[in-house]
Structure 1
Amino acid sequence: MSGFDRDLAALPPEQRWREWMRRVEAVLFASQAPVGREALARVVGEGAPLELLLDDLRVEMEGRPCELAQVAGGWQMRTRPGFAEVIKVAANLPEPRMELGPFETAVLAAIAYHQPLTRAGLADIFGKEVPRDLLSRLRAADLIAPGPRSPSPGAPYTYVTTQGFLARFDLGTLDDLPDREALTDAGLTREQVDEAAGGDDG
């Protein structure tokens, strides 16, 4: 980074601000994963108010097919949902995201709220075993990952959610998980979870 001018002190204030915005946009555009504050701060001046730069960039992107989202502890540039079908048709590619059915959503919610959670723990919640292939699909979609070994006999694996889970559901951290009232609105009350579990063949 020698010779890299972060502060751009020689530029007029308005031009300096625009250059900082372009740098932030370039970093976000090049990254497939959310970019944290520390990484973005390395390309702008020490006195640059990064949050204000991001706010201005978000406003500037209004009306574009891409949007700036704050997820998984960082920021990410991504295509607006309304253009997903357009991209799929033009590129002739399969849908990039796993579609979640009611039971898959319920399993994911159980892991999110009770992690680290074993497969036996999931069975206790749903009153039946959760199929291994369902958990494999959630892992392949980068929504869950193996967690620490459980202290219970046999030290079974546990499951935890991932950064991909946070990004999928527009969450900054797990502290942003909705409360029970919001879960009810989303169809995830205990009764609805039970119904979803009963409707899966396992």
Structure 2
Amino acid sequence: MAEAMHRRGKGGPNDGRTGDRLFDRELDHLPPEARWREWMNRVEATIFAASEPVGRDTLARIVGKSCSIDLLIDDIRDELRGRPYDLVSVAGGWKHLTRPAYANAIRCAVGGNERAADLTQSEVLVLMCIGYFQPITRAELSSFFGKEISRDFIGHLRGAGLIASGPRSPTPGAPYTYVTTKEFLLEFGLDTLRDLPDFEALEDAGLLSKEKLLAGDIMPDFAGVREDIAVEAEE
């Protein structure tokens, strides 16, 4: 019965603290190789069972104080090299993700990521602008594209969990600004916003500029984005 309650997470109010005291992190009774293997298994099992990326602080609860989580992750990833999935650093933690080479097979078998399929080119471009220039107001976004970004347009991105309200702008009227979220990082496979391509480097290379953003001329795939935004703003 106690084991079943543990599996289901239905212990009493003090069970977490009691279990924390009794849980053996250090595993001093094991030889070094067996200890390392057990730590690897614990980390991989925890990440596998979690629905969200698992952060370093969480993993530190299940391994010894002297254990290097980064080295553990490296060893787990080495063992997964021949597998169709990997342990990926994303959104401030680690998560099991299938390798891109198997995307078509997965899509054929069980369908794709519906949320990703729902994003239009214009929404991706607006998200890109928010990612680089956050916190940013709706009016500032509208000025980028020369067309109004409607509240419904912003509402769809918020409903998908990709953006959230940021601090009030110091401009007249103190409008809300918008910032990207953890879901944004997950959607685009980023660990942090620092993983976005360096904007200044892209400008220096002539691949991206504020002028191109204003013109909607970032890459061929985004041709007609300004028109898309205008249509979506009218709907």
CA distance in 2: counterparts of 1:134 and 1:63, whole angstroms: 42
TM-score by length of 2: 0.75
Contact residue 141 and residue 149 of structure 2 kept, 8 A:
yes
* 1:59 paired residue number: 78
* 2:114 paired residue number: 96
1:160 and 2:179 are equivalent in the alignment: yes
Letter in 1 for 2:164: A
- Cα drift, residue 94 of structure 1: 5.4
CA distance in 1: counterparts of 2:78 and 2:88, whole angstroms: 12
Greater share of helix residues, 1 or 2? Answer: 2
User: Identity across aligned pairs (percent)?
Assistant: 51
Unaligned runs of 5+ in 1: none
- Cα drift, residue 191 of structure 1: 5.2
Contact residue 106 and residue 188 of structure 1 kept, 8 A:
no
* 2:130 paired residue number: 111
1:198 and 2:216 are equivalent in the alignment: no
* 2:94 paired residue number: 75
Give the length in aligned residue pairs: 201
Secondary structure of the corresponding residue to residue 53 of structure 1: helix
1:27 and 2:46 are equivalent in the alignment: yes
Please give the per-residue CA displacement for 1:14-59, whole angstroms capped at 9, x wherever unaligned.
Answer: 1111110010001111112111111111100011111100000111
Unaligned runs of 5+ in 2: 1-19, 217-221
TM-score by length of 1: 0.86
* 2:31 paired residue number: 12
1:179 and 2:198 are equivalent in the alignment: yes
Letter in 2 for 1:95: N
CA distance in 2: counterparts of 1:149 and 1:27, whole angstroms: 38
CA distance in 2: counterparts of 1:137 and 1:188, whole angstroms: 26
Which 4+ residue blocks in structure 1 deviate beyond 6 angstroms? none
- Cα drift, residue 183 of structure 1: 7.2
Instruction: Report 1:119-134 matches (<5 A).
Output: 119-134=138-153
RMSD of aligned alpha carbons: 2.5
* Structure with larger Rg: 2
